[in-house]
Amino acid sequence: MDEARRQFLTIGAGLAAGALLSGSAGAAGPIPNSAAGSLRLITYSSGGRAPRVGVVRPSGRVVDLGAAAKARGMALSFDPASMVSLIAAGEFAVAQARQLMLEASDDGPNMADVRLLAPIPAPTRNVYAVGWNYLEHFKEGEAMRLKSAELPEHPVFFTKAVGTINGPYDPIPYDASVSTSIDWECELAVIIGKRGKNIAEADALKHVFGYCVINDTTARDIQQKKHGGQWFKGKSLDGHGPLGPWIIPASDLDYRKLHLITRVNGVVKQDASTEQMYFKVPRIIAELSAGLTLEPGDIIATGTPPGVGGARKPPEFLRPGDIMETEIVEIGLLRNVIGA
């Protein structure tokens, strides 16, 4: 595995990704959602400069939105160093980003020459998450819980601490003195764009800015046994929430028919569709916002499909050197090495 880790770090540190963002490890493929005008909004850094917001063109070239706007004399409606600022600025900011992407020359840096961070690198609020939102995962969870349970009438919510957020190609910390049962959970992440409380289900999608990929990486022994079995603690180890690789605006994507895949060392572990969600995104937002104000930039992980390691017989868990790939085919791919 040492050679695999070396290759991963060579690729991941600079994101040699244009040809690696689709399919299995090492397979070439086009950037997903690459139709003309489709947006892939990133937060990135390069050359020791502070993080800033950009767009990935279908060619794999990066457009620095702040620099592109300055070159054209365009007054941006958002801070080009803050993705949350862009999100809060709403449709006009999206239109400006799209215009700059279309007008910019294709001579920006390749993704191989920059470092992609999580699109929202430092959330100010915990990640909201939904448990048991795919029926088959609920059933396999009974095996882990060693008892049967009724299907939930309402979404089951928990949170992941802000420190879980990790980059799409950054290593996942591994500390055997804390947990030896690190599991994978591929999920669709919903990014809230419009402040709201007591949001009606019929209006919920109006509050969605966009979507990206998240892996709700989980310490199963902590979640189920250690410390009395604590979901928050088991879900909240530092770096156990890789997010990205970019945000695709809701206007550019239909969340209802997305293909989710998890691979570990190239072997498929999860393979499902968001069509299988038990609670759809509007219901999740409506129930979560009841008495609880959602803010622009809030992240909601919508639940994982079946195939997690803890439910396998025998159980399978991630080990140092393993490469975890978390993909939503229509969005993009996260690739994280464990314990590097």
Q: Are 328 and 311 in contact, with CB atoms under 8 Å apart?
A: no
Question: With a threshold of 0.85, does the pTM exceed it?
Answer: yes
What pLDDT, on the 0 to 100 scale, is given for residue 135?
Answer: 76
What pLDDT, on the 0 to 100 scale, is given for residue 136?
Answer: 72
What pLDDT, on the 0 to 100 scale, is given for residue 28?
Answer: 29
What pLDDT, on the 0 to 100 scale, is given for residue 29?
Answer: 41
What pLDDT, on the 0 to 100 scale, is given for residue 334?
Answer: 97
Residue 35 neighbours by CB under 8 Å, 6+ apart: none
Domains and CATH numbers, the chain: 2-116 (2.30.30), 127-337 (3.90.850.10)
What pLDDT, on the 0 to 100 scale, is given for residue 225?
Answer: 76
Q: What residue ranges of the chain have pLDDT lower than 50?
A: 1-29
pLDDT per residue as tens digits for the range 259-272? 999 999 999 999 99
What pLDDT, on the 0 to 100 scale, is given for residue 196?
Answer: 98
What pLDDT, on the 0 to 100 scale, is given for residue 16?
Answer: 32
CA gap 94, 110 in Å, rounded: 22
CA gap 204, 95 in Å, rounded: 21
CA gap 284, 152 in Å, rounded: 13
